[in-house]
Amino acid sequence: MLGGYVAAARAVRTRWQNAEVLPRWLVTASGCIARAEPGPEAAWHTDRSAAQRRGTGVLAVGFEAEHAAGLVEEITADFVQTRGRRYGHQAPDCLELLVRGAAMPADARLRGFEVIGVEWNLSHLHSWLCHGYEAEAADELGVRPNRFGLLDTHRQACEVLEWMDSLPAACAPEPVYWTVAAVAECGGPEPQRARSDSLNRAYRIVSCASSEAGEPAS
């Protein structure tokens, strides 16, 4: 299901990232790597047209049900703690799409899956690539990013997330909420419902695959 739209173009691999493992151009939801333009309340936009007006590329960021539920619970708790009793326990507007189970847009081209770190109040998105883990993950897990710098399957991304959680304190990622997201590039007009249903069926097949799939289609 759809979480939101990130206004970000493809990013050039930086000097400190491993050129033997990562491609030159990266598709990422991370504001640390890409020059992402945040929404009015959070790191992503719930209004696609607002993201498009930023004049960059637009990414659709999606989640499978379990990860979506965990993210909604975490970020809602952040907002309750920040705004106190006056806010109540209602999910904030930045989680609107997840709460109502919005589908991924039909014209979204799934590029792969990313382990992302979510800052307090959904104020910023990090990536596992921010920590330069790509070479270690390739050596220890046999998992390598695809030609977009993302992981081909949901299962691979979950393996990386579990591996990160097991790292000793000296090597651990920063203490934010880490989860797995599907990342797709968007283009063209707002999609038709029938095509959206088709895309989401394809997403479920890829995310539930027990064996490695090929690279996402161009």
**Could you tell me which of 9, 5, 10, 3 has the C-alpha nearest to residue 147?**
10
Q: Is residue 214 in some structural domain?
A: no
Q: Is residue 132 in some structural domain?
A: yes
Q: Is residue 113 in some structural domain?
A: yes
pLDDT digits (tens, 9 = 90+) for 128-149: 999 999 999 999 999 999 999 9
CA angle 102–107–33, rounded 5-degree value:
85
Total domains present in the chain = 1
Q: Is residue 170 in some structural domain?
A: yes
Q: Are 113 and 107 in contact (CB under 8 A)?
A: no
Q: Is residue 216 in some structural domain?
A: no
The pTM of the full predicted model, rounded to 2 decimals, is 0.83
**Residue ranges making up the domain that contains 127:** 2-207
pLDDT digits (tens, 9 = 90+) for 107-131: 999 999 999 999 999 999 999 999 9
Q: Is residue 215 in some structural domain?
A: no
| Percent of the chain clearing pLDDT 90 (strictly above) | 72
CA 83 vs. chain centroid, Å, equals 26
